[in-house]
Every structure is written in structure tokens, then in C-alpha cells.
Amino acid sequence: MRFFDFSISARDGATSARRGTLDTLHGPVETPVFMPVGTRATVKGVTTPQLADIGAQVVLANAYHLFLRPGHDLIAEAGGLHPFMNWDRAVLTDSGGFQIFSLADTLSLDDDGVRFRSIVDGIWHSWTPEENMAVQMALGADIAMALDVCPPYSAEEREVAGAVRRSAAWAARCKAAHHRENQALFGIVQGGLYPHLRAESVERTVEIGFPGYGIGGYSVGESHEAMLESLEQVTAALPVDCPRYLMGVGTPTSMLRAIGLGVDMFDCVLPTRTARTGTALSSTGRMNLKNARYARDLSPLDPACPCPTCTGYTRAYLRHLVVMKEMLGSILLSIHNLAFLLDLMERARTAIEEDRFGRFLEEWLSGPGADDY
């Protein structure tokens, strides 16, 4: 059995949407797929059995944060992320590049690698692409991401061009250093909103050759329409037989429109982060449970949702938990928000199988919740 493969089983006739399967060492992953973010080897407020119950297929963890605490050596000693976090389905580790480069005032960068100050204790660390691969191989995820340079949205063209060049050079070094046979390594495309730099990044990264491709540098401040216009160019240029992973994007409308452009994989902290502020995602848009209108509302959170939160608790009770700042409120809303997005992906997969995703997308865009996302 191959430890990683990707096959496409259906295509939508009206869009570029496709339905596929990622075969990993820890089971198949049906695409399009949303991946809950478990940055520190935990999806905040949700146990791994609960994740499995609501249909999560992959959990994302972050090499930067796990390198700092508890340390990749400890996780390797435990047998890798899967036994360490009690999760027997697929895991993807992000390289941590985005987190490092978001701390621009505490890093130095050159062609060899990046030097950064720990957010935990202030100690300086240095990472080359080779060292980043060593960390991710020790973590033992099914999919690892190449270390790349993610410039901010405000970056000028010259800086973005440099990031494209350096990301490609680092991607080649990551591939050369990566030798864990049961782990797939994905390359990452950068380039900001500059069409020629996106095209160059695709060409450079595809030339190196990876079994899958991340698309980074979006959802960092640009408009929704600008992102989609640029994304269409990128997806059209990437290999058709490889999975395409739009990194850090996870609002319902963005995901559905990106699926229509041929994207297969998504991740985002949105569902759990908004849950901790008392906000629920729903078929009619975002719901702020702090709102007094829900104080005596004994109906389900979202009558269209079959998740444990919606079938077991009322809006009034959930509002009570949120207002009183009880941790159970964040937990129940996190479960619901994740279940909502996972169910949306399941419905998208079914629509593609039945060659009606174009209609499914139109119905969503004309529905009551589309503009709220």
C-alpha cells in the first residue's frame, strides 16, 4: 500500500470543482475537506473523540508552536503526534513559517534560513529548511509543509518577489532533506496579488515536484474578490492530479467559491475562535449569542444542524453559558461551528458527485447567510 495518494472521482460540469480522495497512512480523506486547527496538538475545547464524532478527517498542528512547547523530541518519544494527542486519523503539520514571519520585529532572515525569538521565553532560535524538516519528520504527521517565506499584505512587489525566490529555494532544500517515507511533503505557492509573481511561484514550485501544493499568502488583508481573482489563476496553473490546499481560509462562502475554482483542502481557526467570543455559524449567517433576543429562545441553535449542540441545547441555554462566561459555552459552540463547516464540505462533495455543485453554489450565494461570511 502506498502511504500517500490522491485520486479524483468526480468533476462538476459547471465549475472546476472536483471530488477526490487522499489516501494516507491513517486512512482516507474525502475532499473537498475542511481541517480543524489543532495548533498545539489540540483543537481548543474539543476532544479527539468529539472531533471524530462530528466527522473531522484531518487535524492540523503547527511545527513552530510544538517545537517551542512541548518539543518535537518529546512528541517523537511518544510515538508521534497521533498517539500523543490520541488521534488515529490523518494529521497535517504546518511548517510554522506564517507564525514566524508574523513576528517581523523579532526575526532576521537570509538565504540560509530564519532566526527568531521564542514567544515563550524570549530565547533566540535558528531554523534552516533542513532543520524545519527534521522537526516535522519527528512530529510524524501524514502531511508536512515546506518552510516558506510569507510576506505581509502590505509588502511591496520587490519584497514579494524576494519571498517567491527564497520560498522556491527553500522548497528544493526541504525536498532534499525530507526522507520520512510515510509522510508526504507539500510545496507552497506564494506571490501575493501580483499575477506574474504567482505564476513564477507556481512554475518554480511545480518544477521541484511535490505530491500536493499549498497556496499561501491569502486572507491576510486583501479583499475577498481580489483573493478569488488571483486564486483562479493559481489553481488553473497547478497540476490537475495533485491536491490543492488553500491555507488559512475557512469562511463558508470563501470555501465554496474556492471549491468552484478547484481547491481541495482548507484550514482556519475561525470556527473555534469565533465560538470563544460567543458567535455561532449557521445556515442563516453568524449568530451573536450575547444578543438579548436569544435570552428566552428555547429553539435549537440551528434547526438545520444535526450536531450534538443543536440537538441537545437551546439558544437560551447557550446564551446563558456565554453571558456567564462558562467554559461549556465555548466548548458547545466550538463543536457546533466545526460540525457546521464539516457538514458543509460533505454537502459540497455530494453536490459534486451529482454534478450539481454549480447550482449548490448559486443557492448558497443567494441565501440568507452568504453575505455574512
- With cell 475577498, the residue in question is 224
Q: Which of 94, 142, 148, 264 is catalytic?
A: 94
Helices (H), 238-326: 252-259, 270-275, 308-312, 315-323
Judge whether 267 counts as a catalytic residue.
Answer: yes
Helix (H, G, I), strand (E, B) or coil at 250: coil
Asked if 219 and 239 count as a contact pair (C-beta separation under 8 A), the reply is no
- Neighbouring-strand partners of residue 117: 124
Strands (E), the chain: 4-11, 18-24, 27-31, 33-36, 58-62, 90-94, 107-110, 113-117, 124-127, 143-145, 184-189, 213-215, 244-246, 265-268, 279-280, 287-288
Q: What strands, in cross-sheet order, belong to the sheet with 184-189? A: 33-36, 265-268, 244-246, 213-215, 184-189, 143-145, 90-94, 58-62
Q: Which of 12, 148, 267, 302 is catalytic?
A: 267
Judge whether 355 counts as a catalytic residue.
Answer: no
Asked if 268 and 248 count as a contact pair (C-beta separation under 8 A), the reply is yes
For 13, phi then psi, to 5°, come to: -75, -25
Annotated catalytic residues are 94, 267
